[in-house]
Amino acid sequence: GAQTDNTKPGKKYPERAYFYWVTREQDSFEWFKGVMDDIAEFDKNKMIEMHNYLTSVYEEGDARSALIGMVQKIQQAKNGVDIVSESRITTHFARPNWRKVFSQMANTHQSARI
């Protein structure tokens, strides 16, 4: 269909959004699964970047989470679905490293106001 430009001259709109879902309970992904799948399917321009974190699992790189991570990667490559969130968005383990997250954003958007 035809697209209309609803932007006003001189007004700035976000070009990209970063969403971080951090939870201790795996079940909390369940109610948000549909939204995550819709974004993964329909966000063709990759305007929304989504990250899931499950804090009740050992930190990435820990030997105890290595097996889960291997199975997760195989399943996602084979079926396009994350075994933890049961969505198309890959789940990371432990808490996000916020310093690293914001540093990467600053490097990616050097000339932008964040």
pLDDT tens for each residue of 66-97: 777 778 888 888 888 888 888 888 888 888 99
List, in sequence order, the alpha helices (H) in 10-80. Answer: 33-42, 63-79
* Mean pLDDT of the residues in the chain: 82
Output phi, psi for 49, to 5 deg: -105, 120
Contact 59/90 with Cβ under 8 angstroms? no
Give residue 11's pLDDT band: very low, low, confident or very high (50, 70, 90). confident
Q: In the structure encoding, which two tokens stand for residue 22, read together?
A: 């951090």
| Res. 16: pLDDT tops 80 | yes
In percent, the amount of the chain with pLDDT more than 90 equals 16
Q: pTM above 0.75?
A: no
Q: What is the DSSP letter of 71?
A: H
Mean pLDDT of 41-63: 82
CB atoms within 10 A of CB 50: 20
| Res. 2: pLDDT tops 50 | no
Domains of the chain with CATH codes: 17-106 (3.40.50.80)
